[in-house]
């Protein structure tokens, strides 16, 4: 679907709701441009199953953090995605160019000022995603989550977590899996720490918060002062100072040059 009227309340996508094709759509891939080039980032999906259709794409790029930003209202701009999903109940993905941001909504925001590499990246991801969505009909069968009997069945979605691995691979797993791993790490961390502390204490090598130690226990040497208790204060002091410098520098930069955010992501 090629449409227009996006800047005026997404009228192009809303008009598609009157199309006789709408009842037969079970998934969608929305292509956007928040910049004139760069890699096409997968910044939002409806569920884990449609995200897995994108995962085999060449050079995948994206993170669920962007989707969380939209869900929390931190990113207030919207795309046709919200019409297709929120209003018409379809399941799908949002894929977009996002850099250079300085060309967005300017006379350089066009195909002439992008690159073949950028177009290839979005095109290759689109072809692979659509092939997987079209060949995985079994995953999108069953009653719809919005219970709309006038549209083709597309199944019930499940929440997922996803991110790319250095632009070479893509990880997708369920939110319940992330919760299970998080609980396992939270529980295993203290257990390992207790066991390690016990072993160190057993071999008389537990120097945590120790003030003085004897180098040779069987000899009458003077204990060595290691000032182990200072480690308790060293980390929070260093953390507070480094955090203050970073935050202070950011506010100073914003005050001196508030438009620098539009110059380069590396400068920011």
Q: Catalytic amino acids?
A: 6
Tokens of 164: 């790319």
DSSP string, 207-222: -TT-SEE-S-TTTTPP
Question: Within 13 Å and on the Cβ side, how many CA atoms surround 16?
Answer: 23
What is the Cα 204 distance to its own chain's centre?
Answer: 45
Q: Reduce the DSSP state of residue 173 to 3 states and report it.
A: strand
What is the Cα 186 distance to its own chain's centre?
Answer: 22
What is the Cα 139 distance to its own chain's centre?
Answer: 24
50 vs 30, 57, 93, 161, 240, CA distance in Å?
Answer: 12, 13, 7, 12, 42
C-alpha–C-alpha distance, residues 83 and 3, integer Å: 13
Tokens 């177009």 -> residue:
119
Bridging pattern class, strands 212-213 and 224-225? antiparallel
Q: ω before 106 within 30° of 0 (cis)?
A: no
Specify whether the CB–CB gap between 114 and 23 falls below 8 A.
no
């Amino acid at each position: 679907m090629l449409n227009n009227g996006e800047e005026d309340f997404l009228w192009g996508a809303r008009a598609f709701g009157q199309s006789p094709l709408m009842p037969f759509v079970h998934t969608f891939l929305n292509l956007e441009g928040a910049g004139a080039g760069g890699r096409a980032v997968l910044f939002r999906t409806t569920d884990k199953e449609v995200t897995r259709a994108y995962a085999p794409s060449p050079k995948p790029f994206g993170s669920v953090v962007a989707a969380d930003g939209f869900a929390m209202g931190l990113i207030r701009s919207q795309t046709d995605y919200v019409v297709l999903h929120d209003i018409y109940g379809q399941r799908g993905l949002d894929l977009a160019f996002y850099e250079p941001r300085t060309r967005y909504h300017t006379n350089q925001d066009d195909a002439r000022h992008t690159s073949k590499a950028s177009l290839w990246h979005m095109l290759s991801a689109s072809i692979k995603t659509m092939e997987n969505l079209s060949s995985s009909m079994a995953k999108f069968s069953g009653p719809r989550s919005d219970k709309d009997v006038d549209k083709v069945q597309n199944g019930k979605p499940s929440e997922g977590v996803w991110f790319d691995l250095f632009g070479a691979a893509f990880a997708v797993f369920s939110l319940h899996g992330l919760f299970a791993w998080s609980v396992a790490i939270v529980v295993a961390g203290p257990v390992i720490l207790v066991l390690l502390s016990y072993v160190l204490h057993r071999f008389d090598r537990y120097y945590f918060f120790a003030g003085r130690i004897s180098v040779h226990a069987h000899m009458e040497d003077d204990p060595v002062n290691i000032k182990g208790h200072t480690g308790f204060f060293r980390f929070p002091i260093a953390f507070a100072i480094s955090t203050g410098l970073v935050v202070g520098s950011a506010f100073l930069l914003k005050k001196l040059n508030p438009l620098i955010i539009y110059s380069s992501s590396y400068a920011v």
